[in-house]
Amino acid sequence: MVNTLAKMIDHSLLHPTMDDAKLKAGCELAKKYNVASVCIKPYAVKKAVKWLEGSDVMVGTVIGFPQGGNTTEIKLIETEQACKDGAVEIDMVVNIGKVLGEEWDYVKNEIRLINEATVSKGAVLKVIFENDFLTEDKFKIKLCEICSELKVAFVKTSTGYGMVKGADGNYSYKGATEYDLKLMRKHSSPEVQIKAAGGVRSLDDLLKVKSWGVTRVGATATATMLNDAMVRFQGSQALPDSDSETDDIDGY
């Protein structure tokens, strides 16, 4: 069970304040817990490949992150460079304004081109919706339908950084909610996997989203969740010296 849960986790190494020492420590943590992947800042993909040598932890990175407003051409260049550097998973943010404007031909064409570029390099694409910005279900449903038609590998709730400004001037963030995850699972084809990002920080959170059909989670609280899983399911102690600064940085 612990290994199954570990292979649900993309350990997030995307916070702007993380320097190379923290990124390396995060890769070492991911390797220690044998998670599915690290999702690391694009410039560090080559470094992550080297740091993770000897493990089966994959290297992923982000495209058009976190706002999604880059041109399709730039997103394609980012994708090609990331794959060249060794990334095998690509998390791409949709053009959120185009989604809200219901410019579906543009949205579909962009996802199609980036998916084709990703798959041609032997990698898989995860399409980030940024659900906090999508004010009506119809936007999320349409994105699920497009990604299903294009046979994208994953649809994903959030970047972890999509703060919404309220009428009072304060910012709030929901991330991966039960409602959205169930909606995305319902409206995506069975072959399309669901990735939850934003707010999955405890073992109970991880188990809940798993029960809703989620197969991958973007997380910073990796050590906390998996240490608790070891205690609960194996009756064993947490891994020694498992605390890491990367397990405490907000983001996903």
From 10, 41, 75, 91, active-site residue = 91
Residue 156 annotated as catalytic? yes
Distance, CA of 250 to CA of 220 (rounded, Å): 7
Cα distances (Å, whole numbers) of residue 16 to 66, 169, 179:
11, 23, 29
From 41, 142, 156, 247, active-site residue = 156
What values do phi and psi take at 91, rounded to 5? -105, 110
Let me know: does 1 contact 226? Beta carbons within 8 Å.
Answer: no
Let me know: does 112 contact 104? Beta carbons within 8 Å.
Answer: no
The three-state secondary structure class of 201 is coil
Residue 195 annotated as catalytic? yes
Bond prior to 190 in cis (omega within 30° of 0): no
Residue 32: CB atoms within 10 A of its CB come to: 18
From 108, 195, 228, 247, active-site residue = 195
Residue 91 annotated as catalytic? yes
**Residues with catalytic function:** 91, 156, 195
